[in-house]
Structure 1
Amino acid sequence: MRMVFRWFGEGNDSVSLTKIKQIPGVEGIVWALHDIPAGEIWPLDRIQEVKKQTDLYGFHLDVVESVNIHESIKLGSADRDVYIMNYLETIKHLASVGVKVICYNFMPVFDWVRTDLFRSLPDQSTALFYEKEKVTAMDPLELVRKIAANPDYTMPGWEPERLETLKDLFAAYQDVTTDDLMNNLQYFLEKVIPICEEYDIKLAIHPDDPPWEIFGLPRIVTTQDQLREIIKLVPSEYNGITLCSGALGARKDNDIVAMIHDFKNRIHFAHIRNVKLFDNGDFIETSHRTQDGSVPIDQIVKAYHDIGFDGYVRPDHGRHIWEEQCRPGYGLYDRALGIMYLWGLWDAYNNYNGKDVQYVTNQLEFKK
C-alpha cells in the first residue's frame, strides 16, 4: 500500500508539510482547491502552485479529494453538460501535474453529516459523533431558518455558503428517486470516463456518509450491491471506488473485508478508519485500533495485504488528542498514530504471512 495524508493547504490547515514529512512512510499529499466552487474549472496556475509547495518536501500529488460534482449533474438538470465540460477541463489540468486518482462523491445537497464535532470519549479525547434520533427527527428546512436567524447554529458537514440555496435544493430533489440519481451518475460517467482513460486519471467514488438516506434525500453509495451496480455502469477500470471503512462501516450489514475481495480491481483509493456503533444507531469515531471500535481494522488491512493492494491509502479521520487545536477530524497526532498502526499490521503480515507454521515450530523447538 502507498501511504498518503490529507492536507488542506497553506493557511488552511493546522498541520504543516514539515510535520507530515516526519510521519514514516508517507509519500504523497491528498489535496484539493477547497475554495473553488463546485462546477467551476480549477485554474492551472493554482494547481501548479500546490505542486511547487509539495515538491519542496518530495511529496507527490497523485490523489485529489475531491473535485466536487455540481448539483445540476446530480439532478440531471438541463445545464448539466456545461458543468460536465468544466469537469473535463479540470481533469486535463490535473493530469499536467501527474494526478492519478480523483476521489469524489455523489451525495445530494450535503457531504458528510455529524451532529457533534467534539463528543467526548472515555479516554477524554474527542471525536466526530452521529446521533441518529436527532437527525431523524430534524426538519432540515426548519434548521435552515434557525441558521438564517443565528449563523452560529449550524450542523457539522453543512457548507455555510450554500445555506441560502438549501430550500430550493430540497424542492428540486423532492421527486428524485434513487434510480434517477443512479441514472444521472451513469450519464456523468459516460461523459467523463473516456477523458479519464485518455489522460490516465482514475475516478474513485466515495461512499455516502452516513450510508443511508437522510432528510428524505436519495443515496446510492451505501452498500456492496450499490457499489457493484456503480462499477457496472461504465465497464472501465477508470470507473472505480474509494473504499472508506468508516463510512461503510457505520452499517452493521456492510462486510468491508468481503468488499475488498469483491472490488479489488476497482479500489483506487482506500480510507481506513474505525467507528464504534451503538444499538440505537448512533456512532462515534475512534482510534484506528481494532479493539476501540466496531470495524475489524486488522482484518481489513489483512484483506488488502492478501489481494496485493498497491494503491493509495490514508488514515482518514482521527480523534482530537493531547489538546491539539485542529480542523475537526483532521489533526496531526491521531492520524499519525493511525498510520503507524496500519504500518504495524502491514509489516506483521509481510513478516509472518506464510511463515506462521515454521515460526510456531521454531518456538516449540526453542522451548524444548
Structure 2
Amino acid sequence: MEETWRWFGPKDAISLAEIRQTGARGIVTALHDIPYGEVWTVEAIRERKALIEADPSLGLRWAVVESLPIHERIKLDEGDLSPLFDSYRASLRNLAACGIEIVCYNFMPVLDWTRTDLAWPLPGGGRALRFSAETYAAFDLFMLKRRGAEADYAPDMIERARTWFDASSDSERSTLLATINAGLPGAYDRYDEKGFQAILDRYAGTTRDVLRERYRRFLEEVIPTCEEVGIRMCVHPDDPPRPMFGLPRIVSNADDLAFITGCVPSPANGVTLCSGSLGAGAQNDVPAIARRFAPLIHFAHLRNVAKEPDGSFMEADHLDGDVDMVDLVGVLLAEQRRRKDEGRADWRIPFRPDHGHELLDDGKRTTHPGYPAVGRLRGLAELRGVIRATERHGGRAA
C-alpha cells in the first residue's frame, strides 16, 4: 500500500520536507484557492505539481486529488448546470493530462465532515475531535432554530440539548458555530445561523430519492470523461453517516455504495474507503463493506472512532476504537495482491492516516482541525506496523 499524507498546499503549517520525514511519499492535495465551479487549468495543476516535486531528494509525488469539489448548485439541481459540468469535465481532463489519475470527492449537501468539539481533552494533555449528539442537537434546535427540527429528536435528547444550551455562554455558542463550519477546509462559504437556514431553505423538498437522482446525473455527466482520460473517481462517505440538519445523506452504508456504483457501472466510478466515516455508523461493518467493494476501492482513509449509544463518537487511536483495523488492512492487502497478480500497473492502493490526536507539540502550530503532525505520524507508524506484520503472515494477522 502506498503511504500518503494530506497536505493543504503552500500555506499548510506542515512542510513538504516534514512530510517526507514521516516516511510518506505520496501527497494528497487540492487547489483549494480555486473557487468551486471554476476550471483547474493545466498551468495551475502543473504549478502545484512542480512545487511538490521541486526537491528531488524528497521523492514526493502528487498521488491523489482531495478533493475536486462539486458545486452546491449541482446538489440542488438549481439553474443551468451545463457550464458547471463542462468545468468539472475540463478539470478532470487537465488533471489526467498532468498525470494525476485518482480524484476523491464527496456528495454531502451544505457541509462536509461535522464535529462539535475540535479539542476534546485526552489523558496526558492530548486533544481529539468529537461529535456530541446533544451539543449538535442544541445547535440545531436552539441556535439554528431549524424549522421542524423537533421531529428529528427524542424527548430526552431535546431536554439534554436544552440543558446544554441554557448553560452555555455566548463564547461557547460562537465556538460551536465555528466548529460546525470547520469541516469545509477549502470552501469559500461560511455560515452564521441565518446563512445556515437560508441554504437549508434552498434544499426544501429534497428527499433521499431526489438527492440520489441528482447524484446519478452527476455521475452520468462525468464518468464517461473519466473513462476517456483514465481518471478514477472515488466518493468519500458521509461524515457522520446520518442525516444532518434535516438533509438526507446518501453515501452512508453498503446499500448507498451499491446504488452509487450501480448507477454508472465502471472502474472509474469507485470508492474512497474511509474507515472512520463509515465506522461512525452503528450499522456498518467496515471490513465487510471493504470486502464487498474491494475492486472499486481506489483510495483509503484509515482512522478509528469510538461510538456511544446516543450517536456521539470520538476520534480514537488508529488501532483502537470500533473498527477492526487489522482485519480491514488484511482486506485491502488481499485486494492489492489480486490487482498485482492481474498485472495491473496501478495495483497499489494509496492510503493516508486520517485525522489524528493533537499530541506533544502539535498545539504549538496551527493546522487544519484533525490534521496535526505528531498525531498523524503516530497513526501512520501504527498502520505501517500492521501492514508489515500482515504481509509477513501472508495477508493474515498473526
Q: TM-score, normalised by structure 2?
A: 0.83
Task: State the match for 1:120 in structure 2.
Answer: 121
Q: CA RMSD in A?
A: 2.3
Give 1:256 deviation, angstroms. 0.7
| Most deviating of 266-275 and 43-52 | 43-52
Task: State the match for 1:191 in structure 2.
Answer: 221
Question: Which structure is higher in helix share?
Answer: 2
CA distance, structure 2, for counterparts of residue 167 and residue 224 of structure 1: 31
Task: List runs of 5+ in structure 1 lacking aligned partners.
Answer: 360-368
The answer on whether the counterparts of 1:114 and 1:155 sit within 8 Å (CA) in structure 2 is: no
The 3 A distance-change label for structure 1 pair 354 and 62 is closer
Instruction: Give the alignment partner of residue 323 of structure 2, picking from 291, 295, 306.
Output: 295
The answer on whether the counterparts of 1:3 and 1:27 sit within 8 Å (CA) in structure 2 is: yes
Give 1:264 deviation, angstroms. 0.8
Give the residue type in structure 2 aligned to 1:154.
L
The answer on whether the counterparts of 1:67 and 1:102 sit within 8 Å (CA) in structure 2 is: yes
1:238-253 aligned within 5 A: 238-253=268-283
- After superposition, give the CA deviation of every residue in 1:242-261 in whole Å (9 maximum; x if it has no partner): 01000010012101111111
1:158-307 aligned within 5 A: 158=181, 159=184, 161-163=189-191, 165-290=195-320, 293-307=321-335
1:1-368 aligned within 5 A: 1-10=1-10, 12-24=11-23, 26-55=24-53, 56=55, 57-139=58-140, 142-143=143-144, 154-158=177-181, 159=184, 161-163=189-191, 165-290=195-320, 293-308=321-336, 310-324=348-362, 325=365, 326-353=367-394
Give the residue type in structure 2 aligned to 1:172.
R
The answer on whether the counterparts of 1:141 and 1:167 sit within 8 Å (CA) in structure 2 is: no
Count of aligned pairs between the two proteins = 351
Query: How many percent identity over aligned positions?
Result: 40
The answer on whether the counterparts of 1:72 and 1:79 sit within 8 Å (CA) in structure 2 is: no
The answer on whether the counterparts of 2:223 and 2:269 sit within 8 Å (CA) in structure 1 is: yes
The 3 A distance-change label for structure 1 pair 354 and 8 is closer
| Most deviating of 235-244 and 29-38 | 29-38
The answer on whether the counterparts of 2:330 and 2:395 sit within 8 Å (CA) in structure 1 is: no
The 3 A distance-change label for structure 1 pair 123 and 299 is farther
Give the residue type in structure 2 aligned to 1:27.
R
The 3 A distance-change label for structure 1 pair 213 and 354 is closer
CA distance, structure 2, for counterparts of residue 330 and residue 203 of structure 1: 23
Give 1:144 deviation, angstroms. 9.3
The answer on whether the counterparts of 1:288 and 1:341 sit within 8 Å (CA) in structure 2 is: yes
Where 1:231 maps in the other structure, the secondary structure is helix
The 3 A distance-change label for structure 1 pair 141 and 236 is farther
Give the residue type in structure 2 aligned to 1:70.
H
Give 1:151 deviation, angstroms. 7.0
Give the residue type in structure 2 aligned to 1:272.
L
The answer on whether the counterparts of 2:115 and 2:130 sit within 8 Å (CA) in structure 1 is: yes
Task: List runs of 5+ in structure 2 lacking aligned partners.
Answer: 147-168, 338-347
Give 1:226 deviation, angstroms. 0.7
The answer on whether the counterparts of 2:105 and 2:234 sit within 8 Å (CA) in structure 1 is: yes
